[in-house]
Amino acid sequence: MGSNTVHLLVVDAHRGGHPTPMSSTKAVLRLAEEIDASGRMTKSGAEALTSTVEDFTRIAKASGCEQVMAFATSAVRDATNTDQVLDQVKRASGLTVEVLEGVDEARLTSLAVRRWYGWSAGRILTFDIGGGSLEMTNGVDEEPDVALSLPLGAGRLTRDWLPGDPPSKRHVSVLRDWLDAELKVAAKELRAAGKPDLAVGSSKTFRSLARLTGAAPSGAGPRVRRTLTVSGLRQLIAFISRMTAADRADLEGVSADRAAQIVGGALVAEAAMRATGVDTLEICPWALREGVILRRLDAEPAGAMTSTG
């Protein structure tokens, strides 16, 4: 349950094996926009979330899932009435929702990235941009040496810093300067952990940015190498920041539900790369969801088969 979408991923997997996606269902709820001035999730937002989880739980059971894991990120986490909303969800669906702290998101994403690239990748620096937060890690093991979460998500930055459609050059410039200042301390901590052998971007935002700068489309499969360069990112920002959200939605690789916030995502990606001295990112097809699944599988008895929603 993220800031933009609620996503049901059904996988067939076992401990020590590669989780195989069987089906995927999404609902665009924009929960981050359902937080009112007092910090509470609105009644309409809570009802939409409850109804969606109830529907997705039925789909998971109909798909034969032996286990159903439900977890929420920044939009639900930041609401001041989280407990009441999730109690409502549990009464309707029977599911207990785990609210992930930002640092846990970072660690689980780092686990997924490490499993994808393996030990031979050496020290990995990972970035993950969500709707509400930016996660960053640096480490040589499955548990990273440094795991950070900052409230610098693409949706949050768009709402707070980029009014107008398209945003003005001044607003883009001001946000760039502010991001440089906000990332200074975090970048220093990441660099102090050690020079990375590999820098990785994970999440839908990075996949979209890579596609917009020339990477292979999703139809080419997850194992095709995709990269994002900081020079390509700068050129992309100059291009898409002059477009309306409607025009951006027509670009290949940009979904309609994320078109409004892709400029904010590009700016925070550029700032994170600039702050850490990274020129090129490898784009990892695995992210937080896979990290959650892998961590659960690690706790399963060896050889046990499971279908998980």
- What's the CATH number where 153 sits? 3.30.420.150
The answer to whether residues 191 and 70 belong to one domain is no
The answer to whether residues 81 and 115 belong to one domain is no
For 211, the domain range is: 103-289
The answer to whether residues 272 and 299 belong to one domain is no
Neighbours of 112 (CB within 10 A): 26
The answer to whether residues 127 and 205 belong to one domain is yes
Domain count, the chain: 2
Phi, psi of 5 (to 5 degrees): -130, 155
The answer to whether residues 160 and 297 belong to one domain is no
Q: What angle do CA 48, 261, 166 make, to 5 degrees?
A: 125
Q: Which two tokens stand for residue 72?
A: 């929420």
Helices (H), 165-203: 169-192
Give pLDDT, residue 303: 52
The tens place of each residue's pLDDT in the chain, 309 residues long, gives 999 999 999 999 888 888 888 999 999 999 999 999 999 999 999 999 999 999 999 999 999 999 999 999 999 999 999 999 999 999 999 999 999 999 999 999 999 999 999 999 999 999 999 999 999 999 999 999 999 999 999 999 999 999 999 999 999 999 999 999 999 999 999 999 999 999 999 999 999 999 999 999 999 999 999 999 999 999 999 999 999 999 999 999 898 889 999 999 999 999 999 999 999 999 999 999 999 999 998 887 665 444 444
Note the pTM of the prediction, 2 decimals.
0.93
| Residue type (1 letter), 52 | T
Q: What is the pLDDT of residues 153-172, one digit of tens each?
A: 999 999 999 999 999 999 99
Q: What is the pLDDT of residues 67-109, one digit of tens each?
A: 999 999 999 999 999 999 999 999 999 999 999 999 999 999 9
